Chain A
Amino acid sequence: MTTPTTKGGFLAVFFSTFYSKRAKPLIHFLSMLIMTFIGLLMLTFVIGRMMPTDPVIAVIGDKAPEELYEKTYKEMGLDKPIVVQFVYYLGGVLQGDLGTSVRTANLVTEDILNYFPATLELATLATIFGVLLGVPIGVLAAVKQNKWPDYLVRFFGLIGHSAPIFWLAMMGIVLFYQHLDWVAAPEGRLSVMYEYTLPKVTNMVLIDTMLAGDWDAFKDAFAHIILPASLLSYYSIAYLSRMTRSFMLDQLKQEYVITARVKGVSETAIIWRHALGNAWVPLITVIALTYATLLEGSVLTEIVFSWPGLGRYITDGLLAADMNAVLGGTIVVGLVFILLNLTSDLLYKVFDPRAR
């Protein structure tokens, strides 16, 4: 197996090597999860306090008189030692209270329920595209190893890892929106009329428009998501095709393939049924990790497309000294990342014949 190039790969490898040795893997995993989680909180909290922006100014603005400043400073608990502040915050988190966002005047938990689905939707679609395109071309590259399709796939993959996504997005907008008119404006998830009228159930607009049975709105949502999702998927296509190729090559060398060939099984069946059938097992792990990477890696795409996702929520909060928002957002992303790693690992164990 190729050295995994997502950082998640290491986490997964680590998890599997670590807790398979233990008698009570679940308990061990949970304790590890909690420790990592608290560490994550501490790191975020410290960075938050290091920010050279005065959180009081974020609340009361620049022109407020001094007495109001003092009052707000105390109200926000900023006069207490940082350890005490952290303990208070941790206490809140344990009760499901992430505080109120300065920027949006909403509870952070509410905000996350609003913003996270947008990121989830984008990353999910990008992953689906990635699997639908990346796996077949990876198989193709393996079958035509060292012939020009193989080189083409490798070349295409390396390009995917080389272009700055925000730049690609800008160029994409100019080409597909301004000149060709194929996609909708980079204004968010929906045209403004639908944005206001659509009943929000899951907060994922593709699903909500379908639930509402409003096909015009669905088309509108699709026209908005297609370009950012395609761009984001380029990364996953490039990565998945590369990994598929590598797994397939491993399989095609196996004895059962040779045996099958001798038995006269058709080449198509060997490739698609037997080899890919086995290559799926490690591939699932890789797909889950790609998904995790996309979930947290969509920040720049969200910014260029005005996408109201969690990445932008955290970034905007960061720049506005909205620490509750940043902390809350980071917790969710970190947690999702850890959980996806766990899931990929469990899937691996379930599907891997050797593990059964």
Chain B
Amino acid sequence: MKVLFNKARRLAGMTGLIFALSSGAAVAATPKDALVVGWQFDDIITLDTAEVFEFSGAEITGNTYDRLIGYDPEDVSKIFGVAAESWTVSDDGKTFTFKMRKGIKFASGNEMTAEDAAFSLQRAIVLNKSPAFILSQFGFSADNVKDMIKAVDADTLTITTDKAYAPTFVLYCLTATIASIVDKTEVMKHEVDGDMGFAWLRTNYAGSGPYKIEQWKPSEIVVLSANKDYWGGAPAMKNIFIRHIGESSVQQLLLEKGDIDIARNLETEQLKSVDGNKDIKLLKKGKGSLYYLSMNLKDPILAKPQVQEALKYLVDYKGLEDTVWAGRGQVQQAFLPKGFLGALEEQPFSLNVEKAKGLLAEAGYPDGFEIEMIVRNAPIRIDTAKSMQTTFAKAGIKVKLIPMDGKQVLTVYRARKHQLFFGAWGPDYQDPHTNADTFAKNLDNGDNAKSKPVAWRNAYAPEQMTKDTLAAVLESDAGKRAKMYLAIQKAHQQQAPFAFIMQEQEVAGLRANVEGYVLGPSFDSNSYKDVVKK
């Protein structure tokens, strides 16, 4: 008995020792000259700016590369020069001439010239990766791009489009990640079999931004280091360590403990619970991402206009804004997010079960029906879908929720094999065309169509709206153009098989001593450049 007791004591002593040894290292604040960020960035699959099309990848390259021009994150209508000092548009509206800024150096030490800018844009067209359409929609192709985009001399770049587009449309597209300027000499040094350095740049860096990419370990860590020679002045933080932390509750924990300086993926309830903490502050910014419910017209039930309208009246917009989306989103019921040119802000729909029941009876479904909804397996999306499951049930519609992984949802969606889809759309650039192009335009509704915009994925093919969308992009007067988009959205809001529900607001939790972090309207405009620690 006594022996046993002694043994137990020895055991306890050993365990205590183990923990004592470990406890010393457990409490560690982050260093003064480095910023530690907790973020879910498992979507990054490449660092090549000609290929980057993921939210996280766009943010990393946004902080490490320069583009010709940029916009003010607080007011996107203010466009200014970055790598280009100034620009002019020709009278016919087709030729853009950029004067390059002097004294910009790449990480390799090479000086940036117009040749680098021309090369970067040409390279994006020739490589023709996923985001290439952002540039190629102006009539560039691998065959003609060398003539359409060229360096006249070391300081001058000209870009010639095939038609006279709204100038802001062209300019906004040049602020996108794909228009980032890469170091031609450095990239071509690593060319293999004529790939323009693609294999190399996917995991390496050749830019001139305020930060340099030191290391990227997928789903683990991204390390940025300050570019001391940055033309806009060296940033204060020597290093930025961005750590992949998949669990939002763990991000909260680390932030509260001071193990990270910024938590990027806090869920609604976590925001509530850190709100009262004096060591933590919240930074909020309306993003362009819209969350919507779409109905596949290939389904005979959903093809009925009354059913579509009924579903729009069965979403608890207000309730969602107050609960699941509290602090993280605002109701938006049109296809353009607030802040975009011509965004429609009217909200004609609210939860109205009686009205919906009437519409369903008219459509021939007085007792409702059973239907499947696919949704990506992420907390806020599932919670929103669950709320719809509850409200739809009030009108007799039994929703079977099918949560899937992101890419799996897209596989089904792209093949038009869903009934209901709940998901998000993020604009590719800051011009209204990006959303009109996908929601209101469908040139070919056949199964083997060349282009498969979101309208196509729901078998929605509005002829007039398609024409209007194509016309709006050529209107150079901003006021007239805004009116055109308002008209398209109004018609779309009533007729289209889409219920737009929420516009996302990004929220980051920051330690109280962190200042200067900027959240922009898109991910590539989230900026670490001015971060300081008090």
Given contacts A58-B407, A105-B46, A319-B405, is CB(A196)–CB(B259) below 8 Å?
A: no
* Interface residues as binary, A119-149 with B (CB distance below 8 Å gives 1, 0 otherwise): 0000000000000010010001000000001
Q: Which of A58, A103, A133, A223 has the most CB of B within 10 A?
A: A223
> Does the CB pair A57–B45 fall under 8 Å?
no
Closest to A320 in B: B407
Given contacts A103-B219, A104-B218, A181-B26, is CB(A226)–CB(B405) below 8 Å?
A: no
> Does the CB pair B7–A182 fall under 8 Å?
no
> Does the CB pair A183–B450 fall under 8 Å?
no
| Segment 46-104 of A: residues with Cβ below 8 Å from B | 51-54, 57-68, 101-104
Instruction: Write out the residue numbers on chain A whose beta carbons fall within 8 Å of the beta carbon of B30.
Output: 192
Distance, CA A302 to CA B208, complexed state (A): 37
Instruction: Write out the residue numbers on chain A whose beta carbons fall within 8 Å of the beta carbon of B90.
Output: none
Given contacts A140-B7, A188-B243, A319-B405, is CB(A181)–CB(B27) below 8 Å?
A: yes
| Segment 128-183 of A: residues with Cβ below 8 Å from B | 133, 136, 140, 149, 173, 176-178, 181-183
Q: Which of B4, B28, B246 has the most CB of A within 10 A?
A: B28
A202 contacts chain B at the CB level, 8 A cutoff: no
> Does the CB pair A196–B223 fall under 8 Å?
yes
Closest to B16 in A: A182
Closest to A152 in B: B4
Instruction: Write out the residue numbers on chain B whose beta carbons fall within 8 Å of the beta carbon of A177.
Output: 26, 253, 257
B24 contacts chain A at the CB level, 8 A cutoff: yes
| Segment 46-69 of B: residues with Cβ below 8 Å from A | 46, 53-54
A184 contacts chain B at the CB level, 8 A cutoff: yes
Q: How far is the CB of A178 from chain B (nearest CB, A)?
A: 6
Distance, CA A196 to CA B216, complexed state (A): 10
B361 contacts chain A at the CB level, 8 A cutoff: no
B145 contacts chain A at the CB level, 8 A cutoff: no
Given contacts A106-B218, A193-B31, A306-B244, is CB(A186)–CB(B410) below 8 Å?
A: no
How many A-B residue contacts, CB cutoff 8 Å?
A: 162
> Does the CB pair A63–B131 fall under 8 Å?
yes
> Does the CB pair A181–B254 fall under 8 Å?
no
Instruction: Write out the residue numbers on chain B whose beta carbons fall within 8 Å of the beta carbon of A216.
Output: 25
> Does the CB pair A183–B133 fall under 8 Å?
no
Distance, CA A99 to CA B31, complexed state (A): 39
* Interface residues as binary, B236-247 with A (CB distance below 8 Å gives 1, 0 otherwise): 000101011111
Assign chain B's interface to a size class: 35 or more
Closest to B54 in A: A61
A283 contacts chain B at the CB level, 8 A cutoff: no
Instruction: Write out the residue numbers on chain B whose beta carbons fall within 8 Å of the beta carbon of A41.
Output: none
Instruction: Write out the residue numbers on chain B whose beta carbons fall within 8 Å of the beta carbon of A66.
Output: 449-452
Closest to B221 in A: A195
Given contacts A52-B411, A64-B130, A193-B241, is CB(A185)–CB(B450) below 8 Å?
A: no
Distance, CA A296 to CA B30, complexed state (A): 34
A308 contacts chain B at the CB level, 8 A cutoff: yes
Instruction: Write out the residue numbers on chain B whose beta carbons fall within 8 Å of the beta carbon of A195.
Output: 221, 241, 243
Distance, CA A64 to CA B244, complexed state (A): 26
Q: How far is the CB of A173 from chain B (nearest CB, A)?
A: 7
> Does the CB pair B53–A61 fall under 8 Å?
yes
> Does the CB pair B410–A62 fall under 8 Å?
yes
26 examples of A-B residue contacts, CB within 8 angstroms? A53-B408, A53-B411, A57-B411, A63-B53, A66-B449, A68-B128, A68-B129, A105-B203, A106-B203, A173-B250, A178-B253, A183-B23, A185-B259, A188-B243, A191-B259, A192-B36, A192-B241, A193-B31, A193-B34, A193-B241, A195-B221, A196-B223, A196-B239, A219-B22, A219-B24, A219-B25
A sample of 18 more A-B contacts (CB under 8 A), given A54-B410, A133-B11, A192-B241, is A54-B414, A58-B407, A61-B130, A102-B45, A103-B45, A104-B219, A177-B26, A183-B22, A187-B250, A188-B243, A191-B28, A216-B25, A219-B24, A226-B18, A226-B22, A308-B219, A316-B42, A316-B219
